[in-house]
Amino acid sequence: MTESLPQEFETALRRTADRRGVFGESLYYFSEVASTNDEAARLAEAGADEGTTVVASAQTAGRGRLGRTWFSPPGAGLYVSVIVRDRRAAPLLTLAGGVAVAEAIRGATGLPVEIKWPNDIVVDAGLGRRRKLAGILAEASSGTEGLLYVILGFGINLLPVAYPPDIATRATSLAGELGRSVDAGPVLAECLAALAERVHDLASGHRRRVVGRWAELSPSARGARVQFEAGSGSITGVTAGIAEDGALLVRAGARVEAVRSGQVRWL
Ligand code: BTN
């Protein structure tokens, strides 16, 4: 059963209504859910429109990329999933999501977050180290006639908590970085407004705007040493930007490799 939206969300959403288009127009709030991506997929299967949004204060089975768990304790984060049906937006939706969440956090809080390929939202912790405070998970569903919808889910750590040992040294939160508490309402509302803008860019043929902004927000996509697995074994190289399709380019000796999926180790 969906619940009534907390006042802090209500107010912030009202203030951004003219910039959000259909994003968040229909919004379902839960104090706890297994995964907002699953709830949004259920709604999409039942015919919910583009922009329909699911927000939860806690997840009991939050998912991350590459089969990982997304730690989602009550009240410590913002857990959000949005239905996107526009096929023109699908190929670069993960990058667009990263740009939208990074710009929204910057706009709502002033924290100069960056993106780490493909879609980690991080803060620069100095000496080439970065701490992650948000992540994006896009899950597509297709039928015989092609793409039906994509669920774009994002999780943003709001408060510092006791993170599980495997992520404790690499995770951070908005309040932890800013040294003050942060209202979740404006962060959510700005994310939806920024997502509306970036999905519109993709749908109207302005892919370069999204890719260009992504590159500006991602200094580590150029000149950072990385290692990744290829068919031929493990390759070490230096990041050299991203391709038009969102692949991370890595210079390794005389070759430039395009990394499209899997895990990249930042050295
Ligand atoms: C990652 O960086 O690995 C992606 C994390 C995505 C987490 C969000 S939280 C809201 C939505 N529901 C989920 O189960 N996952 C995404």
Is 97 a pocket residue for ligand 1 (Cβ < 6 Å)?
A: no
Atom of ligand 1 nearest to the CA of 65: 3
Atom of ligand 1 nearest to the CA of 56: 10
Mean pLDDT of 176-199: 97
**C-alpha of residue 52 to centroid of ligand 1, in Å:** 17
What is the model's pTM?
Answer: 0.95
Q: Are 105 and 113 in contact (CB under 8 A)?
A: yes
Q: Look over the chain and give the mean of its residue pLDDT values, rounded to a whole number.
A: 95
Is 35 a pocket residue for ligand 1 (Cβ < 6 Å)?
A: yes
pLDDT score, position 100: 98
CA dihedral 44, 21, 32, 131 (to 10 degrees): 110
Domains of the chain: 7-216 (3.30.930.10), 220-266 (2.30.30.100)
Nearest to 82 by CA among 141, 39, 145, 122: 39
| 30 token code pair | 């839960």
pLDDT score, position 137: 97
Is the pLDDT at 211 greater than 90, yes or no? yes
**C-alpha of residue 256 to centroid of ligand 1, in Å:** 30
Question: Pocket of ligand 1, candidates 70, 81, 130: which has the most ligand atoms within 8 Å of its Cβ, to mutate?
Answer: 70
| pLDDT-derived band at 110, boundaries 50, 70, 90 | very high
pLDDT score, position 231: 81
Euclidean distance between CA atoms 199 and 84, whole angstroms = 8
Is the pLDDT at 263 greater than 90, yes or no? no
pLDDT tens-digit map of 122-166: 999 988 889 999 999 999 999 998 999 999 999 999 999 999 998
pLDDT score, position 181: 93
Is 137 a pocket residue for ligand 1 (Cβ < 6 Å)?
A: yes
Atom of ligand 1 nearest to the CA of 36: 12
> Exposed, middle or buried, 107 (CB in 10 Å: 0-12/13-18/19+)?
middle
| pLDDT-derived band at 1, boundaries 50, 70, 90 | low
Report the run of H or E that residue 222 belongs to, with start and end: strand 222-230
> Exposed, middle or buried, 265 (CB in 10 Å: 0-12/13-18/19+)?
exposed
> Exposed, middle or buried, 257 (CB in 10 Å: 0-12/13-18/19+)?
middle
pLDDT score, position 230: 86
pLDDT tens-digit map of 45-89: 999 999 999 999 999 999 999 899 999 999 899 999 999 999 999
Is the pLDDT at 91 greater than 80, yes or no? yes
pLDDT score, position 175: 97
| pLDDT-derived band at 178, boundaries 50, 70, 90 | very high
14-20: long-range contacts at Cβ-Cβ below 8 A with a sequence spacing of 24 or more? 15/186, 15/189, 16/189, 16/190, 16/192, 16/193, 19/193, 19/196, 19/197, 20/51, 20/189, 20/192, 20/193, 20/196
pLDDT score, position 27: 97
**C-alpha of residue 80 to centroid of ligand 1, in Å:** 8
**C-alpha of residue 226 to centroid of ligand 1, in Å:** 24
Mean pLDDT of 16-31: 97
